[in-house]
Structures are given as C-alpha cells and as structure tokens.
Amino acid sequence: MKKNLVLIGMMGSGKSTIGRILAKNSKKKFYDIDKVIEKENGMKISEIFKKKGENFFREIEEKFSIQILKSYGNIIALGGGAYLNDKIRSEIKINSISVWLKWSANLLIPRILNSKTRPLVYKLSEKDLMKLIDTRSKVYSKADYKINCDKLNKNEILKKILDIYNK
Ligand code: S3P
C-alpha cells in the first residue's frame, strides 16, 4: 500500500498550503494536524495553549498525529513541533515518507515573528527564534528528504515533492 507523505518543518514553511494543493491535485486526502486538533477540541490552537497550556497541547498533538499516521496514502501536514516528539518520529518511519520544507532563518523569521495565531513565537525575540530554528533544524534533518525552498516558487516546490513521492 502507498505510504503517507508527511510534510515537516518550522511554522511558516508552507506545510499546510503546499499539502492542501498536493492533495487536491493528486485527489488524495489531506490532514492538517493542527486543524484536526482545533476541530476535535472546538478551540483554536492559540486558545488551547492559553487555556490548557503547552503540555496539554503536546499530548493531544501526539495522540492525533499518531492516529492519523497509521493511515495509508494520505498527505499529512504536521505541526512545527510535532517532529521533535520521538514517538511521532518512530510512527513516521513505519508507514510514511517525510519531507522537510527547509527555509533560511532570514526568510522564515519575518513571516512568523509576532504572529498572533502562533502562541509559541508570540513572545519570542528574533534572537530566540533564531535559536529555535537552529535547534529544531538538527531534528528536522532526520527527515527522509529535505527541500531547500529559498530559491523555489510554489510550483517548483510542489514538483520536487511529487518527484519524491512518486519515485
Ligand atoms: C507549533 C507550530 C504550530 C502549532 C503550534 C506549535 C510549533 O503549527 O502546532 O502553534 O511548536 O512549532 P504550524 O507549524 O502549522 O504553524
């Protein structure tokens, strides 16, 4: 059976946008884990962080990510922090191909700095964000594939992902 295609990477790297287009073009199902969590909890991610805290969010993120990763042949966008979870990474290994959408920090930071919908970065300075990108990149680099997106347009990114998935 066909594996899932899992998009990973920092907030603002385009996982949801690219994933949605990929799914539409290939007539596959698309799961945006953040959206699944919001729907199941009847709250926006920022509200979950505020009312229940990050630990609670990470627990349900683990639960829903693993549940959905057990499916086949779907396109899945993980939340930016999900790939840091060992159990989620192990689940991806079983049945999915992971692709890291990599952007340089100088392109990523202006996109996400002060974002009100992203509770994790809301209070971070540019320097903190730089550190976060640096630490996370070491883990993201464990993905099966990496796409350097800096110089690519959306269609070029889509093509690269499809080439990987249809290999
Ligand atoms: C997070 C990224 C967000 C969301 C939550 C935490 C993170 O998802 O899961 O705010 O830890 O990087 P996106 O990467 O889709 O913005």
E strands present in the chain: 4-8, 30-32, 75-77, 96-102, 145-148
pLDDT digits (tens, 9 = 90+) for 91-147: 999 999 999 999 999 999 999 988 888 888 887 889 999 999 999 999 999 999 999
Cβ contacts of residue 112 below 8 Å, gap of 6+? 10, 11, 12, 118, 121, 129
Contact 43, 108 (CB under 8 A): no
Candidates 90, 98, 93, 96; CA nearest to 72 is 96
Mutation pick for ligand 1 pocket among 33, 34, 51 (CB with most ligand atoms within 8 Å): 34
pLDDT digits (tens, 9 = 90+) for 10-68: 999 999 999 999 999 999 999 999 999 999 999 999 999 999 999 999 999 999 999 99
CA of 81 to the centre of ligand 1 (A): 6
